[in-house]
């Protein structure tokens, strides 16, 4: 088959074709749930799945490149094909996506000599190597080779960042050099000169917007007089940042804008169809004068919620789509009021090899109703200090090293030095705390420095002993000029103006959590009491008879990280808007399960709960 760009339409084997796509980021969804989410996209009436490729997830350290497990992009694309759908792939190299560093590996910029998103030899050489690593996955899965890929996007909203045509030409040629033959696209907001600045005549321009469809398409047509109109990011919701309200978009308003878009003959990629979760420490951040880390949930108020269930938006969009294209019948479980759960053969995520097919029938019986919420008591408790031998690998430095210099992409780094301050003093960080530091003397917490508040100074009590700063990277900036910046205690640390030297530093092994630390927690005797004083790790066990998706409620806890059966669910924070952490069903098991919580500050309770529904609490505006 052949996919091409015609004078007014996309052409599939020479016939006009409308792209009805939905975004699912494979790296935000447990791989055993990919098939379920893809099938539900088809049931809404979509014919295409779009995904970014997160370079830094595949290459977390220099010289590494993984395509296994949750990073098996080939398997994801094969599941798309098996469902009879096409694929749009956006390898970047920059993706934004509210993902750490916009998808760019931290190590790329560690020595300060490599350019960011520009025609610079070091950056382009790294991009070439990245694309060559992707070639065996992407090239044989193009539509003209029997695969699902019909479009590939070059860069991402570049017109909002720069206008270097030589950079875009170099990227385009690299994509061609690895063997990609399908049409190439660019995407920018139809505002100002972004469409022109972010593209080339050889790249088909598409727009990104979520409202005022007629106006946005008119601006897109002005920038590109011929060819199919496409909104390749139709924003049907928005992401959440910690401390802000939960963003929602009325289903009726989004459906009306989608109707306008399709009525104009446009093609669409719904961003997001299913948002998923920023598991581990993968969330990004924004900094437009004030640093704002992005929440763990990437629900996005999408047609399919974080647990993969249809929302009102799913049904509203499906009603619009069926005016313009055939839609398959909905199983009872996917209809309004249904469970949203497809049959076991889909939800179990059986593996699919390249080129294999999967039955696409929809008459699948829903699984039995799940059991009730399960309360869990965290009855094995250890202060962080007691587990440090299992979580650390110390190195010594004249001044505090950055995360980047330590090879830490994200998470936590503990900085330690010995001080003699009989009268105390004022500790200051020279330039900036990136992003949050819990300050302790001799194991006693004396305060917190937060980047969001532009904190750089804190008063220390008299101390002759150990000064520690536990620094958390709360998310690397994913948009704008601060992409690629280092993390840690930037500019050194001083007390009363005198620099502190002779530091020891270590990243904490938390994602995945060090097995030795889990073993120590498992071997602890159970303890009484209700409160927790951090930094502390606490563990508890619970039993299940079924393994559906759940939510971990941490009511009473303040800030930290949680794991279930060793899988890092991500960060929690009492400031909201998110109150519960998504727990994918495949992480759970029938019988005994384990939950671990790393609480930085304190909790009024040792009880958590495995819920069947999220605790929305104060998530709404």
- Catalytically active residues are 157, 233
User: How many Cβ atoms are within 10 Å of 174's Cβ, its own excluded?
Assistant: 18
Burial class (CB in 10 A: 0-12, 13-18, 19+), 602: middle
Rounded to whole angstroms, the Cα distance separating 586 from 603 reads: 28
CA dihedral 76, 232, 99, 126 (to 10 degrees): 80
Annotate 279-303 with DSSP letters as a single string: -TT-BEEEESSSEEEBPSB--TT-S
Rounded to whole angstroms, the Cα distance separating 552 from 464 reads: 41
CB 331 within 8 A of CB 613: no
Rounded to whole angstroms, the Cα distance separating 265 from 324 reads: 9
Reading the block at residue 472, the tokens are 């958390």
Rounded to whole angstroms, the Cα distance separating 548 from 254 reads: 30
Burial class (CB in 10 A: 0-12, 13-18, 19+), 458: middle
Q: Which residues of 128-149 are buried (b: 16+ CB within 10 A; e: fewer)?
A: bebbebbeebbbbbbbeeebbb
Reading the block at residue 291, the tokens are 């640093």
Rounded to whole angstroms, the Cα distance separating 506 from 116 reads: 27
Cα→Cα distances 504→111, 241, 414, Å: 21, 33, 8
CB 273 within 8 A of CB 44: yes
3-class SS at 576? coil
Reading the block at residue 289, the tokens are 């004068």
Q: What is the DSSP letter of 447?
A: E
Reading the block at residue 360, the tokens are 């696409």
Sign of CA dihedral 212, 213, 215, 220: positive
Rounded to whole angstroms, the Cα distance separating 340 from 331 reads: 9
User: How many Cβ atoms are within 10 Å of 519's Cβ, its own excluded?
Assistant: 10
Cα→Cα distances 228→173, 204, 254, 606, Å: 23, 9, 22, 57
3-class SS at 101? helix
User: How many Cβ atoms are within 10 Å of 567's Cβ, its own excluded?
Assistant: 19
Q: 156: left (phi > 0), else alpha (psi -120 to 50), else beta? A: beta
Short-list 466, 494, 350, 470, CA closest to 412: 470
Residues linked to residue 88 through DSSP beta bridges, in sequence order: 50, 151
289 Cβ partners below 8 Å, 6+ apart? none
């Amino acid at each position: 088959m052949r996919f091409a760009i015609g004078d007014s339409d996309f052409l599939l084997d020479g016939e006009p074709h409308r792209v009805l796509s939905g975004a699912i980021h494979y790296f935000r969804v447990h791989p055993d749930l990919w098939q379920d989410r893809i099938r539900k996209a088809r049931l809404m009436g979509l014919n295409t799945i779009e995904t970014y490729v997160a370079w830094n997830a595949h290459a977390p350290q220099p010289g590494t490149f993984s395509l296994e497990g949750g990073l098996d992009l080939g398997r994801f694309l094969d599941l798309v094909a098996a469902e009879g759908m096409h694929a749009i792939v956006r390898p970047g190299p920059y993706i934004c996506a509210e993902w750490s560093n916009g998808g760019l590996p931290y190590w790329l910029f560690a020595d300060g000599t490599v350019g960011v998103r520009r025609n610079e030899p070091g950056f382009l050489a790294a991009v070439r190597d990245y694309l060559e690593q992707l070639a065996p996955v992407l090239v044989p899965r193009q539509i003209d080779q029997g695969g699902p890929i019909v479009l590939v996007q070059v860069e991402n909203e570049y017109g909002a960042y720069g206008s270097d045509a030589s950079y875009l030409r170099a990227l385009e040629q690299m994509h061609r050099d690895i063997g990609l033959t399908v049409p190439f696209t660019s995407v920018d907001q139809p505002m100002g000169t972004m469409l022109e600045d972010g593209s080339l005549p050889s790249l088909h321009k598409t727009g990104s917007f979520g409202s005022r469809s007629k106006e946005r398409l008119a601006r897109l047509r002005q920038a590109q007089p011929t060819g199919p109109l496409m909104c390749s990011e139709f924003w049907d919701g928005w992401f959440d940042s910690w401390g802000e309200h939960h963003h929602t978009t009325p289903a009726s308003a989004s459906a009306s804008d989608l109707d306008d878009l399709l009525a104009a003959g446009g093609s669409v990629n719904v961003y997001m169809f299913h948002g998923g979760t920023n598991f581990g420490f993968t969330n990004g951040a924004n900094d437009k004068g004030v640093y704002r880390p992005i929440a763990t949930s990437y629900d996005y108020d999408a047609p399919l919620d974080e647990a993969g269930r249809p929302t009102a938006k799913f049904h509203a969009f499906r009603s619009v789509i069926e005016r313009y294209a055939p839609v398959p019948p909905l199983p009872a479980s996917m209809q309004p009021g249904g469970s949203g759960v497809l049959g076991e053969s889909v939800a179990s995520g059986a593996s699919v090899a390249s080129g294999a097919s999967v039955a696409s029938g929809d008459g699948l019986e829903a699984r039995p109703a799940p059991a009730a919420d399960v309360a869990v008591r965290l009855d094995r408790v250890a202060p962080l200090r007691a587990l440090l031998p299992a979580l650390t690998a110390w190195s010594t430095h004249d001044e505090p090293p950055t995360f980047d210099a330590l090879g830490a992409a994200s998470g936590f780094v503990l900085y330690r030095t010995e001080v003699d301050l009989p009268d105390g003093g004022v500790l200051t960080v020279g330039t900036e705390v990136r992003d949050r530091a819990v300050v302790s003397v001799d194991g006693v917490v004396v305060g917190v420095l937060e980047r969001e508040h532009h904190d750089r100074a804190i008063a220390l009590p008299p101390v002759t002993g150990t000064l520690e700063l536990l620094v958390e990277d709360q998310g690397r900036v994913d948009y704008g000029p601060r992409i690629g910046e280092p993390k840690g205690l930037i500019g050194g640390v001083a007390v009363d103006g005198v620099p502190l030297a002779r530091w020891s530093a270590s990243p904490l092994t938390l994602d995945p959590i060090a097995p030795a630390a889990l073993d120590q927690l498992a071997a602890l005797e159970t303890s009484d009491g209700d409160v927790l004083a951090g930094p502390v790790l606490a563990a508890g066990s619970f039993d299940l008879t079924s393994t559906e998706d759940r939510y971990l409620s941490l009511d009473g806890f303040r800030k930290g990280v949680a794991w279930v059966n060793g899988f890092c669910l991500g960060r929690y924070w009492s400031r909201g808007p998110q109150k519960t952490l998504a727990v994918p069903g495949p992480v759970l098991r029938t019988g005994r399960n384990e939950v671990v919580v790393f609480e930085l500050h304190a909790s009024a309770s040792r009880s958590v709960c495995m819920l069947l529904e999220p605790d929305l609490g104060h998530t709404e505006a």
